[in-house]
Structure 1
Amino acid sequence: MTTAAMQSPPNERLSRASIAATNFGFLWTEGLGEGLGRIAQAGITRTELMVSLPHVDLRQSRSKLAHDINDATRRNGLALTSLNPVDMNLVSANGAIAEESLEQLLLTIDLAEDVGAPIVVVVPGKYSALVPMNEQHALETFRRSVEIMLPRAAERGIKLAFENVPFGFLESPNGLWTELKSYETDLIGLTVDAANLHFAGQDFRTEIEAVQKHILIVHISDTDRSRFKHGHIGEGDVDFAEVASALKAVEYLGDIVYELATPGVDWARWQQDLLRLRQLGWA
């Protein structure tokens, strides 16, 4: 099937949430340009870029990094939905790691401006599984980071989309928004991750209804509740029809990022996944 045949008509795309892809699954198996080319060939026009070695090294000069990313996306006709830096922990009990995470996020905000990505995904942090940080201290550390990131985001014209992650700290979208709403700015919103919600035992529809006005981006992939993963559809027991129904009920029309995170992409299976997602009503 040709790219043109797989794309939805323009008027249809305006009325439906659109599927985007990510480089997460081919970080270590394919070059950025090559992998983005495969995404484009499937009729996808938007992508979230994981800010991670070997595709993105924030230690490079800012201008060279932006040039390389812009070249890879433009050659493949792709627009960036967002940048998503990996392995950040703003509430690490090791202060140096928390500070470096904040610095990496600030650099990502700068890069987002350079490459035309309107959103930076922010993981709020994760607790140690053995000796978690005192909650009040974690919240104070998190708030300090947000207050440092916000002026940079405002200067660059970038929105911060805080993501629910099942790592102990502010795990649910509603809990995240309860903490963030006091900032009263449209520069702050949420990334809602369906697999993370499912693994944490939370109800997708309930959470979506509670934060519907604040969702900037949605991540989908499959997992079960015994082993955390972001796998192909069918590798877990996420109810994708329920996810689609809940998003339709709140009239969400933003990007749906298929966030496959595997050690290499089975592209034939990935194509089948896209077909199933389109059958659920996503463009």
Structure 2
Amino acid sequence: MSSPSLTISVNTYSYIYSHHAFEAARHLRKIGFENFEFLFNSPHIWVSEIPRESRDRRPAIISDEKLRVTSFNLPIMDHNITSPNPDTRNFTQQRFKELIELAGLWSVPYVVLVPGKVSPLFPAPKKLMLEWLLEGVLILAEHAKKSGTKVLIENVPITTVPLAKDLLNIVGQINHPNVGIVYDVANGYYAGQNPAKELLQLEGAVDLIHLSDTGRHEWRHDPVGAGEVDFASVHEALGKISFEGLSVMEIISTNPDHDLVESWKKLANLGWKGRVL
């Protein structure tokens, strides 16, 4: 067992309607952040809105300004890789292919994949949804291999694979070097799980961590300390599994400058690396 001093990254979620992704990263650098997960949502950043010539080379913010974009993330509102509708599945695959290609061109190591959505009224049979998921992820895995990046499947409560054991099962079936796991502690807690115990199940299999707070009665991505997640036990579990990847603060806030900094302070007090100003 080690006692990790884990590096923090920050998701740009709270800035999607106020800043372009590049400007959000520059702004966040001024308050101490160096690693970023871009949330792809227009007008913040969207692949088809990036001029072709700008897609084909790393932007200055990465190549010259030395900010580290570590992952791309696509919110679940407008796509569904496990939709019963084949056109929707194809649309989803195309959006992720674009994202994977861009990640390769910009030297971004990870693309986060939410593994579909389940209807709360009349869900498709789980067997079918798993078949659609496997089919789609295998297609994306080959695209990631060509692009030199990795697709990370996330535990999300409204999907057909909401728990750590589900992720292990699906990643084991896919068995592809360009497919891995991102574990979200708030999603795990809201789904009724103990995030620390789930992380222990993921030893050697998890590439990235998402950090935010929530309770169990309402699904949230709140600042650290605003909910019920036990971050001390999360840090301890990460030490037990010798996790050395990035911990991404995926916090949604109307006052993100304050809440991200305060959350980082609380995490640093528990053993995560502090800010460098």
Q: What is the CA-CA distance between 1:65 and the residue it aligns to?
A: 4.9
Could you list the per-position Cα deviations for residues 241-261 of structure 1 after superposition, in whole angstroms to 9, with x for gaps in the alignment?
Answer: 111111111111110000012
Q: What is the CA-CA distance between 1:173 and the residue it aligns to?
A: 2.0
| Equivalent of 1:99 in 90, 101, 111 | 90
Matched ranges for 1:133-172 at <5 A = 133-172=124-163
Check if 1:267 corresponds to 2:249.
Answer: no
| Equivalent of 1:277 in 263, 267, 277 | 267
Deviates more, 1:234-243 or 1:156-165: 234-243
Stretches of structure 2 lacking an aligned partner (at least 5 in a row): none
Check conservation: 2:13, 2:39, Cα contact below 8 A: yes
SS in 1 for 2:43: coil
Q: What is the CA-CA distance between 1:64 and the residue it aligns to?
A: 4.3
Stretches of structure 1 lacking an aligned partner (at least 5 in a row): 1-14
Could you list the per-position Cα deviations for residues 71-113 of structure 1 after superposition, in whole angstroms to 9, with x for gaps in the alignment?
Answer: 3445653111111112231112333222211111111100101
Amino acid across the alignment from 2:137: V
Identity between Structure 1 and Structure 2 (%) = 25
| Equivalent of 1:71 in 57, 60, 65 | 60
| Equivalent of 2:174 in 180, 183, 190 | 183
Matched ranges for 1:124-273 at <5 A = 124-262=115-253, 264-273=254-263
SS in 1 for 2:140: helix
Q: What is the CA-CA distance between 1:63 and the residue it aligns to?
A: 3.0
* Alpha carbons of structure 1 residues 67 and 27: separation in structure 2 relative to 1, 3 Å: farther
Check conservation: 1:173, 1:190, Cα contact below 8 A: no
Could you list the per-position Cα deviations for residues 223-245 of structure 1 after superposition, in whole angstroms to 9, with x for gaps in the alignment?
Answer: 11111111112221111111111
Aligned length: 268
SS in 2 for 1:252: coil
Could you list the per-position Cα deviations for residues 27-53 of structure 1 after superposition, in whole angstroms to 9, with x for gaps in the alignment?
Answer: 012232332123212222111111111
Check conservation: 1:26, 1:35, Cα contact below 8 A: yes
Q: What is the CA-CA distance between 1:141 and the residue it aligns to?
A: 0.8
Output the CA distance in 2 between the equivalents of 1:68 and 1:24. Answer: 24
Could you list the per-position Cα deviations for residues 11-42 of structure 1 after superposition, in whole angstroms to 9, with x for gaps in the alignment?
Answer: xxxx6220001111110122323321232122
Deviates more, 1:19-28 or 1:42-51: 42-51
Q: What is the CA-CA distance between 1:210 and the residue it aligns to?
A: 1.4
Check conservation: 1:57, 1:65, Cα contact below 8 A: no
Deviates more, 1:61-70 or 1:43-52: 61-70
Check conservation: 1:164, 1:196, Cα contact below 8 A: yes
Check conservation: 1:36, 1:76, Cα contact below 8 A: no
Check conservation: 1:26, 1:265, Cα contact below 8 A: no
* Alpha carbons of structure 1 residues 62 and 182: separation in structure 2 relative to 1, 3 Å: farther
Q: What is the CA-CA distance between 1:179 and the residue it aligns to?
A: 1.8
Normalization by structure 2: what TM-score?
Answer: 0.90
Output the CA distance in 2 between the equivalents of 1:132 and 1:249. Answer: 37
> Which residue does the alignment assign to 2:33?
44
Deviates more, 1:268-277 or 1:220-229: 268-277
> Which residue does the alignment assign to 1:55?
44
